[in-house]
Structure 1
Amino acid sequence: MRRILIASILCLAFGISTQGVAQQVRREAVVDSLTAELESILRQGHFNGFGVAVVNGRGVLYQNGFGFADVQARKAYGIHTVQSVASVSKTLVGLALLKAQEQGLLTLDDPVNKYLPFPVVNPAFPDVPITLRHLATHTSSIRDNDFYLSHNYFLTPGQQEKGPMAFEDMQTFIPADSAVSLPVFLQNVLTPQGKWYQAKGYFARRPGELYEYSNVGAALAAYVVERVSKQPFPAFTARYITKPLRMRDSGWRFADVAFSQVSRLYQSPTVPLPYYGQATYPDGGFLSSVADMSQYLRELIRGYQGQGTVLRPESYRELFRPQLAASNFEERNERNPYSESYNVGVFMGFGYTGFIGHTGGDPGVVALLFFDPKSGIGRLLVMKLFRKSAFD
């Protein structure tokens, strides 16, 4: 049911883009109708709160928040409410890679080992280098092993005795004092000497051959940017992405945003999850608001149209160039237009209809960010979901 409701929200958001731009009077009527429909969905009780936006290259067509950012405090969910956007974060890793390439710090076809202090090698293909392009297109042969779910998500300080310690299956929250840094986590899961290494952390397939969505691969790409730029990845993205776009509600850590604006996430309608972070934060830990992500989505649309400001036109062409073929997929999603698993650019997904963007899901969170390259209309949905599996 919740999956159907999410699809309904996206369809409603699409309605304003196709019906509401031509005439101002008609647009206002569609805006009112959309708001009423979304409020009706909220009243069904499947979500505590969510935000919706519709944009084009010229600006925002619709923005609104619904429900509560904090149920107990009766705090409204607004367009400046901050929450994780989960794997939509990976799109920032793509922009960061291309910005670093513009600066001459790397090229996408370089082997990752050119930049790492520890070797990353598929044991089944030790002589085949894993490249940055492989990471960016999820063809690196790196898989998320069992320790990704059991050792990656950590409670923020002071949360050890609050909230559930597990979310679903193997996905657990470890205490704050057990958290490790991004490079330590990567070395532990990717190298044979690492204490969390598993042979099944690599496919027995040649790097570059098979699409397999990899959170660890995305985090590794961000770490390369950190290495070549000689600055923390959050500092790099702030300098070249969020600050130029005036994304004032955004950051990778709670300390980077106004904590008073941060939404609570929920295990159930009345049970909040603890505040948590990730060792591999670049793959899903970006914190932002509907207002800021609207600015970001608008930049992506403008970049596709050759008018972006964050990257050069040639970099945007690379970002949005479908880079895989049917032979790269064992299972290709040809049903869901809001799925990034039909084709991929540089950490930028394509649905089978041609929609461009990304989805995200983490404990208590679902996010979708897509635009239609034909109409130039983009749609954004961020919500507090009680169970991650409700959208899987």
Structure 2
Amino acid sequence: MKPIEQMKKLAVVFVIAITLSSCNQSKKNTDNLIISENQITKDSLTAELDSIQKNGEIIGFAVAMVNQDGVLYEKGFGLSNLETKVKYDENTIQHIASVSKTLIGIALMKAKEMGKLDLEDPIENYLPFKVINPNYPNETITIRQLATHTSGINDTEQYMNRAWILTENQDLTNVSTDYPAQRLNPPELNIPMEEYLNGYLAVNGAYYQDDNYINFKPGERYNYSNIGATLCALVIEKATGQLFDSFTEEHILKPLGMNSSGWSLENVDIQKHSRLYRNDNTLLPFYTAITFPDGMLISSSSDMAKYLVELIKGYSGEGTLLKKESYRELFTEHLEEQNFESRNAGNPYNGDYSPALFIGHSALGYIGHSGGDAGVATWMYFDKEKKIGRYIVINCDMGNDERARELEYYAVWDKMNEYFDKLNVE
């Protein structure tokens, strides 16, 4: 090759190299700009949420914002312990109330995939005791009816006054065990879940009363039931031969890397556990529930972010816990107008508007569940069109006489929504 031709080739290579280097640098600069802008957005959201907490009455809370690709934002605010001033962060744990029921739905579909049950099966096929609405003694109750809250099983004072149990070996000094909405019972009143459900649901059982069932045939009327949800968890136990907490740990918590989560204090790091408070800031004791599947999952907002990402993926046909067709059935709306006494179409986050399987659709395009217990409030919803979701958990009662905390709770929720378009960038 002649020297002049070599020089031309070298010049071309040099130009190409410079161009590629320039393109790479340009892409790197663009990526860095996006990262920088994203961090500015996160810092701005953090400042606004921090201001809501500091100027309000919520003691401690955490939030998470996700899309189907992962976590967009997660952060804790305020305190997990008023006395010791420990901060509430995204790794703080506490039980999440009725959002826990969504795990019953996932577990139910996993058991179906394993060939252990079918949703149309009568529950009597799996239970060692009779569950029959005495108003309709010839009608059977199916698993699907439990999962859509149409079984006719009703929560009464035998649930509100009996289900919650104080955990053992805790210091009750300066702690209030008085909670008007749900009685917190001493540890010696704890009994196995199956024994309690038998006593509640069997006619002439220890906790039976006439209004433990509503006067509608199974499948006719939507009636949200914690007892019915817990009974479904027992059906899963009997069908699979595995305890519900163990089954969900194996098939949900571990696969998603929800390593801070569990169904009892023995299964989590209590050092990370938030204290819970009444609306007058009185400290509440640690408690559990005989009917633990209906609301006693202990988790962090960081773990719940992973779970919410999976739900959005599942809705989009890309979930990892269940097959595509199982997720499709999980999210299918089951009921019609005649199944309800009344419905609120104006609440965007009302999962009771159109139930699927232990999760619900609002009238305005959101899917999810909410929860509330003594000293706990939670929301977990995702936008089924935009595939973005939010989670919030607080460690105190929602409101006082002026409903201040409830307004702050909504303010936090709405503030997250304002920032989604800024955070949800490629």
Task: Report the secondary structure of 2:161's partner residue.
Answer: helix
Task: Report the AA paired with residue 41 of structure 2.
Answer: V
TM-score, normalised by the number of residues in structure 1: 0.91
Name whichever structure is richer in helix by fraction.
Answer: 2
Tell me the secondary structure at the aligned position of residue 250 of structure 2: helix
Shift of 1:161: 4.4
Deviations 1:50-102 (CA, angstroms, capped at 9, x unpaired): 00110011111000000111111111111110011100000000000000000
Which string of whole-angstrom CA distances, capped at 9 and with x for unpartnered residues, describes residues 153-191 of structure 1?
Answer: 11001348442222124x111100111111011011101
Counterpart residue identity of residue 77, structure 1: Y
| SS at structure 1 position matched to 2:90 | coil
Q: Is 1:341 aligned to residue 349 of structure 2?
A: no
**AA partner of residue 218 (structure 1):** A
Give the conservation status (yes or no) of the 8 Å contact 2:166–2:288.
yes
Q: Structure 1 388/322 Cα, relative in aligned 2: closer, same or farther at 3 Å?
A: farther
Which runs of 4 or more aligned residues in structure 1 lie more than 6 Å from their structure 2 counterparts after TM superposition? none
Query: What is the 5 A alignment of 1:27-42?
Result: 27-42=38-53
1:190-218 deviation digits (Å, cap 9, x = unpaired): 01121110110101101101111000000
Correspondent of 1:128 among 126, 133, 139: 139
Name the CA distance, whole Å, in 1 between partners of 2:137 and 2:180.
35
1:309 maps to amino acid: T
2-side partners of 1:269 and 1:291: how far apart?
28
Give the aligned partner of residue 141 of structure 1. Answer: 152
Q: Deviations over 1:305-342 (max 9, x none)?
A: 11111000000000111111111111112121112111
Residue in 2 that maps onto 1:258? 269
Give the root-mean-square deviation of aligned CA atoms. Answer: 1.7
For 1:334 and 1:183, locate their aligned partners in 2 and report how far apart those are by CA, in whole Å: 37
2:371 aligned counterpart, secondary structure? strand
| SS in structure 2 at match of 1:37 | helix
Contact 1:363 1:388 in 2 (8 A): no
Hey, what does 1:59 align to over in structure 2?
A: 70
Deviation at 1:24, TM superposition (A): 4.3
Greater radius of gyration (CA):
2
Amino acid at match of 1:369: M
- Alignment match of 2:176 (pick from 164, 177, 191): 164
Q: Distance in 2 between matches of 1:224 and 1:177?
A: 26
Native 8 Å contact 2:377 2:398 kept in 1:
no
Structure 1: distance between partners of 2:83 and 2:171:
20
Instruction: Name the counterpart of 1:324.
Output: 335
SS at match of 1:89: helix
Match of 1:167, as an amino acid?
Answer: Y
Relative to structure 2, which stretch is displaced further, 38-47 or 350-359? Answer: 38-47
Is it true that 1:206 corresponds to 2:217 in the alignment? yes
Q: Is the 8 A contact 1:97 1:225 kept in 2?
A: yes
Structure 1 match to 2:11:
none
Matched, 1:154 2:165: yes
Which of 301, 315, 318 is equivalent to 1:307?
318
TM-score (norm 2): 0.84
Show the counterpart of 1:105: 116
Task: Give, in whole Å, the separation in 2 of the partners of 1:261 and 1:33.
Answer: 27
Kept in 1, the 8 Å contact 2:260–2:303? The answer is yes
Question: Is residue 356 of structure 1 aligned with residue 367 of structure 2?
Answer: yes
Percent identity between matched residues is 44
Q: How far did 1:30 drift?
A: 2.6
What corresponds to 1:43 in structure 2? Answer: 54
Rounded to whole Å, the distance in 2 between the matches of 1:29 and 1:109 is: 52
Q: Report the equivalent of 1:297.
A: 308
Note the C-alpha offset of 1:27: 3.1
Structure 1 counterpart of 2:267, one-letter code: D
Aligned to 2:291: 280
Task: State whether residues 48 and 269 of structure 1, in contact with CA within 8 Å, keep that contact through their aligned partners in structure 2.
Answer: no
Q: 380-389 or 171-180, which moves further after superposition?
A: 380-389
CA distance in 2, matches of 1:48, 1:316: 36
Counterpart-to-counterpart distance in 1, 2:39 and 2:385: 24
Q: What is the one-letter code of the residue matched to 1:311?
A: L
Q: Which amino acid aligns with 1:343?
A: S
Distance 1:24 1:136 in 2: 43
C-alpha separation in 2, matches of 1:159 and 1:200: 35
Counterpart of 2:179, as a letter, is F
1:181 to 184, 192, 202: 192
Give the conservation status (yes or no) of the 8 Å contact 1:364–1:388.
Answer: no
2:103 equivalent in structure 1:
92
In structure 2, the residue matched to 1:7 is none
**Alignment correspondent of 1:234:** 245
Aligned length: 370
User: Is the partner of 1:205 in helix, strand or coil?
Assistant: coil
Q: Judge which range, 93-102 or 176-185, deviates more.
A: 176-185
